[in-house]
Chains A and B, each alone.
Chain A
Amino acid sequence: MKRAILLPLALCLWLCAMAANAAIEELDFDSPEQEARYHFLIDEMRCPMCLNANLSGSDAPIAADLRAEIHSQILEGKSNAEIIAFMKARYGDFILYRPPLNPATTLLWFGPLVLLALGLFVARRLLRQQRFQPAAPDLSLEEQARLQSLLNDEDSPAS
Chain B
Amino acid sequence: MSNRTKLFIPAAFFITMLGLLFYGLGRDPSHVPSALVNRPLPEFSKPALLDEMSTVDSSELKGGIFLVNVWATWCPTCVAEHAYLLEMSQHEKNVTFVGVNYKDDVGAARDFLTQRGNPFKYNLVDADGRLGIDLGVAAAPETFLVDATGTIRYRHVGAIDNRVWAQTIEPILAQIQ
Where the two chains meet, the residues of A that have a C-beta atom closer than 8 Å to any C-beta of B are: 48-49, 51, 60-62, 65-66, 69, 88-92, 94
Given A90-B36, A92-B35, A62-B139 contact (CB < 8 Å): yes
Residues B35 and A69 in contact, CB atoms below 8 Å apart: no
Specify which of A51, A60, A65, A90 is in contact with B136 (CB 8 Å cutoff): A90
Main SS of the interface on chain B? loop
Q: Which residue of B lies closest to A48 (CB)?
A: B138
B45 interface contact, C-beta 8 A: no
Q: Which residue of B lies closest to A91 (CB)?
A: B136
Which B47-61 residues have a C-beta within 8 angstroms of A?
none
- 0/1 string, B124-158, CB within 8 A of A gives 1: 00001100111111110000000000000000000
- Chain B hits for A48, CB < 8 A: 32, 136, 138
B107 interface contact, C-beta 8 A: no
- Chain A hits for B139, CB < 8 A: 49, 60-62
- Chain B hits for A91, CB < 8 A: 32, 35, 136, 138
B16 interface contact, C-beta 8 A: no
B46 interface contact, C-beta 8 A: no
Given A49-B138, A61-B139, A94-B33 contact (CB < 8 Å): yes
Pull 21 A–B residue pairs with CB atoms less than 8 Å apart, ordered by A: A48-B32, A48-B136, A48-B138, A49-B139, A60-B139, A61-B103, A61-B129, A61-B139, A62-B137, A62-B139, A65-B133, A66-B133, A69-B133, A89-B35, A90-B133, A90-B134, A90-B136, A91-B32, A92-B33, A92-B34, A92-B35
- 0/1 string, B110-124, CB within 8 A of A gives 1: 000000000000000
- Besides A62-B137, A88-B35, A92-B35, 13 other A-B contacts (C-beta < 8 A): A48-B136, A48-B138, A49-B138, A62-B132, A62-B138, A65-B132, A66-B133, A90-B36, A91-B35, A91-B138, A92-B33, A92-B136, A94-B33
- Chain B hits for A69, CB < 8 A: 133
A60, B32: Cα distance in complex, Å? 17
A134, B12: Cα distance in complex, Å? 30
Task: Please give me the 6 A-B residue pairs with the lowest Cβ-Cβ distance, nearest first.
Answer: A92-B35, A48-B138, A90-B136, A49-B138, A94-B32, A49-B139
- Chain B hits for A60, CB < 8 A: 139
Given A61-B103, A69-B133, A90-B134, A51-B29 contact (CB < 8 Å): yes
A90, B134: Cα distance in complex, Å? 6
B30 interface contact, C-beta 8 A: yes
- Chain B hits for A65, CB < 8 A: 128-129, 132-133
CB distance from B28 to the nearest CB of A (A): 11
Q: Which residue of A lies closest to B139 (CB)?
A: A49
